Amino acid sequence: MSEKDLGWDFHLRKLSVSGRDSNTANDPASDPSLLPSVKKLHALCKTENSEDLVARVYTSVNKIFQRAAASLSQSRTSNGLLLLAILQFYLDFGEIVLHDADPSLRTFFRSCLSREFADPVVAEATLEFLINNKKKLLTSFPNLLPQFFPLLLKLIAWNGERLEKLFLNAFPALISPGSFLPLFPSLVDLPILVVALEKVEKSSGPLIGSSIASIQKNTAPKMLLALMDEAYTGSTIEDGVGDSEYEDNSAIDVADPLFLELLKDENDGIAERPWSSPVMTAILQTSVNSPYSDKLKAVLSLTPRLLDVYFSIALQTVNNSLICALIPLLMSRYATIFPDKIFSYEVRKRLLEFMLSTFQCSPNFIALLKKPIMDRLGEAYDSPVKTELALQLCWAIGEHGGGGGSHKDEARELFESLELLLYENLSSSRVGMTQEVSLDKDTYRRSSQSRLLCFVVTAIAKLATHHRELIPRARVSLGKVARSRISDARVWRRACDFLGLMKDPAICSSILGPSRPTQGTAQKVGSINWSEGSKKMIAHIPFYILGEQEGEAYCVPVDIHSYASHAHVLHLGVPLR
């Protein structure tokens, strides 16, 4: 018998003996020599290319897989590496032995990885397995990874930047039509997931080898009670002794759904998360006021990069229906983000960039989403963060004409919302912008209102330029601002500028009209195509329009390229006549 045959026979006997040994039959992973034998036989099957040998090996490794899967709840040994090696055998030779790997893969995720995701060795091996088999998994089991993305997010949340490169490589496979929408809030909430996992570890011991699902189903959930107390109310279990509130399970019932949602393993759609509830406020406040753990610091840094990949894939491959459905989620989550200053800034910046990019690519989204947009405009003064979102939405409404020329009804409704926002807050927008900067909160609030109203006035003028039937109403609105002496100087000045500009329709259309022709329409006669500024560097424009002065109109050479790049923010000094 050749040396190769001897090696082959030795490893096969090893698998067979392992199945009969009473010490390892109920816990195959407890035999450390079993994993090398499985890998060796796998390699021999590849080199020999013999279906008969593959069938013989399959019989043995399949028995080991089934025994290992059945013993996971009682096993004290890590089974992850052994099961991954057998899963690789299934994927490589499943067609030869007619083995459907889907149930085995799901067993691994549900029964093994859910217990061992905190083990850095198993986590790294799992990501390498997913990357090496990405094409096969996406082709043969397209719904597998999107279904278990919450579990895989726990894997990266707990192991941090050490596995970032591997996870970013595997991450695109988690995105599918069924996971695209629920994946977004899970990504934004990665820091809160870390906080929840750390609380579980603190209350129940190391996460490796224990199932969070079994902890949640404990018939005497003392750990869960302590966790809810400490994480959500800031107190400890001892603080509640003798308190009737804790004798009644209602306090746990309120918090428990949130806890279960954060720590779930499988994607079951978008759940309603009570982010505005006192429970969530408490856990966020407790987390921010406590020193950050290394895991939390790593996730705060990692999450914006994951969002970059998510949004990049969305713009390239996801259909418009899903993107349109995502935008209201972005709006609703814009003000509810883990309250770390740097993290919230980085995340909100990406949300705005993606939202404005989608409006640029598909202006009709503004018309389709007029209801959530109008709702956000109505919340403009609830907080500085919501003011900033409303400001950006005002800009998008004006820039893209409320969805385009074919959406006149929606544009009119958006125009009415802008009018309402203007009229309701006109009297409170006066801020002395020439005064020294004050740290007074009321002064800051009024300054923020004034900045928003500048964008509202601009949006009204631009929207009326897109839809000329709105011009009479726009003149009335801007005229009220121009006649008001109690409004902020910036708001008053901008309204005067736009009123004067509207008296010259050609220039008004060029400056306030669409930056590019609406799809299917030609450039309007008399309009200037600002995108050609680099080819037409010099033009004669009446100086009194640009110089904020009255007097005889005379011409001066102007750099059109520079002017065009700032046309949407210039304060055009057109006098009222």
Query: For residue 520, is pLDDT > 50?
Result: no
Buried-state track 329-352, b at ≥16 Cβ within 10 A, e below 16:
bbbebbbbbbebeebbebbbebbb
Nearest to 263 by CA among 142, 145, 117: 117
Q: State the pLDDT at residue 517.
A: 55
Average pLDDT over residues 474-478: 92
Structure tokens at 495: 């309204």
Report the half-sphere exposure of 458 (CA within 13 A, side-chain side): 26
pLDDT-wise least confident of 104-118, 218-232, 474-488:
218-232
Angle between helices 294-317 and 341-361 (to 10 degrees): 0
Average pLDDT over residues 264-268: 87
Max avg pLDDT among 23-32, 177-186, 566-575: 177-186
Annotate 306-368 with DSSP letters as a single string: HHHHHHHHHHHHS-HHHHHHHHHHHHHHTT-S---HHHHHHHHHHHHHHHHHHHHH-THHHHH
**∠ at Cα 456 (450, 458), nearest 5°?**
110
Q: Is 514 in a helix, a strand, or coil?
A: coil
Contact of 197 with 154, CB cutoff 8 Å:
yes
Q: State the pLDDT at residue 307.
A: 97
Which stretch of DSSP H or E encloses residue 444? helix 441-466
Higher local confidence (pLDDT), 272 or 267: 267
Reported confidence tier of residue 262, pLDDT bands at 50, 70, 90: confident
pLDDT tens track for 7-45:
677 778 777 766 555 555 567 878 888 899 899 999 989
CA-based radius of gyration for the chain = 31
Q: State the pLDDT at residue 282.
A: 73
**∠ at Cα 133 (128, 138), nearest 5°?**
125
Reported confidence tier of residue 345, pLDDT bands at 50, 70, 90: very high
Average pLDDT over residues 160-177: 93
Higher local confidence (pLDDT), 326 or 533: 326
Structure tokens at 560: 């059109």
- Reduced 3-state DSSP string for 104-125: HHHHHHHHHHHHHCCCHHHHHH
Note the residue count of the chain: 577
Reported confidence tier of residue 559, pLDDT bands at 50, 70, 90: very low
Average pLDDT over residues 390-399: 94
Query: For residue 474, is pLDDT > 50?
Result: yes
Structure tokens at 546: 């640009």
Query: For residue 465, is pLDDT > 50?
Result: yes
pLDDT tens track for 42-94:
998 988 888 888 998 999 899 999 988 888 888 878 899 999 999 999 999 99
Contact of 367 with 408, CB cutoff 8 Å:
no
Which stretch of DSSP H or E encloses residue 556? strand 555-559
Q: Is 4 in a helix, a strand, or coil?
A: helix
| Type of residue numbered 382 | D
Mean pLDDT across the chain: 78
Please name the residue that has the structure tokens 């909160």: 441
Contact of 516 with 531, CB cutoff 8 Å:
yes
Please name the residue that has the structure tokens 């905190």: 118
Q: State the pLDDT at residue 196.
A: 85
Q: State the pLDDT at residue 311.
A: 97
Q: State the pLDDT at residue 198.
A: 86
Q: State the pLDDT at residue 521.
A: 45
Residue 503 to residue 573: CA distance in whole angstroms: 13
| Type of residue numbered 314 | A
Report the half-sphere exposure of 528 (CA within 13 A, side-chain side): 23
Q: What is the signed CA dihedral for 539, 543, 544, 547, rounded to 10 degrees? A: 110
Nearest to 476 by CA among 430, 513, 426, 433: 426
Q: Is 538 in a helix, a strand, or coil?
A: strand
517 DSSP assignment: P
CA distances to 42, 45, 53, 55, 231 from 49, in Å = 11, 6, 8, 11, 56
Q: State the pLDDT at residue 167.
A: 96
Q: Is 542 in a helix, a strand, or coil?
A: strand
369 DSSP assignment: T
Q: State the pLDDT at residue 214.
A: 55
Higher local confidence (pLDDT), 5 or 391: 391
